[in-house]
Amino acid sequence: MISNLIGRLFCWLRDAICRGLVRTGVRPNHLSILGMLLTMGAGVEIALGRGHWQTWALGLMFGAGACDILDGRLAKMGGLETRFGGILDSVCDRMSDAALFFGMAIYYITTPDAAPGTAHPNMTLVLLALVGFVWAYLISYIKARAEAAGVPAGGGFWQRPERCVTIFLGVGFLHLPTVLWILGLWPITTVLHRFWRVRRSCKALEAGQAREAVEAMQPRGLAAPFLWRWARGTWQFDIQAGATVLMLIFWDLPPIDPLRDLVARLLG
C-alpha cells in the first residue's frame, strides 16, 4: 500500500532525527510545548488573512507538525516516557486543535463576504469551524475515556494527523472553505464509529468475553466496506486519503453562506 511505503520512509527519517535529539539532550516535553506554541502562532496567522497563509501559517504548521511527530518517538527512544509527559502532550494537542479552528473561525468573522456597507461575517463557515473543533475534541475524548475504563478504543479515519494535514493543504492551496466543509461534516463518521466500537467492546467485556472485545474493533460484516473505518496501511485508507487530497488541491469551494440565507428567509 502507498501509505505503508510512505510510512517506512517517514519512520526512518523520524528515528534518525530523534537519535540526534537524544544526543543533544532535548526533552519530549520541550517539543510538545514548542509544537503547541507554533500551532497557536499558525492560528493567529490564519486569522490575519490569506496573505499570511502560504508563508507564516504554513511554516509554523510545518514546524509544529515536526514537533508533534518527534516528541512521542523521542520519549521512547531516549527512555524518557513519563505519565506527566503523556498528559502534557494531550493537553498541548487539544490547545493546538483549538488554535487552528478558532483561527479559521475568526478569519470568517472578521473578513466579510460582500462589498463594504453590505458585508457580513460568514455564519456558515464560522459554524463549520466550531463544529469541526467539536468533532476533533470528541474523537480524542472518546478514546481517552474508553481507555481509562479499560476498553479498547481508537481507529477511524479522522484522527489528528489526518485533520492537521487537511488544514495544512487547505491553507497552502488557499482552499479554506473546502477544509471547513470537510472537517465540519465528514469527521462525524469517526465519532459515531468510535461510539459504536466502544459500545460493542464494553458489552463484550461486561460479558467476560475479552477476545470478542478486541474483535469488535475490526471492520467486518455488512459495515466493512465503509472506507472511513479502516486503519492506515490499508487500500481503503489510501482511497479515502487520496480523495481528500484531491479535493483539497482541486476543489475551490466559494465562501457561500447558506445558513445566513436560511435565517434571512425565516426572519423575513
Of the residues 68, 71, 93, 257, only one is catalytic, namely 93
Q: Maximum distance among all alpha carbons in the chain? A: 67
Kindly give the interhelix angle for 176-185 and 83-110, rounded to the nearest 10 degrees.
Answer: 120
Rounded to 5°, angle at Cα 103 from 97 and 109: 135
Burial of 58 (0-12, 13-18, 19+ CB in 10 A): middle
Q: Is 93 a catalytic residue?
A: yes
Grid coordinates of 76: 521512547
Q: Which residues are catalytic?
A: 93
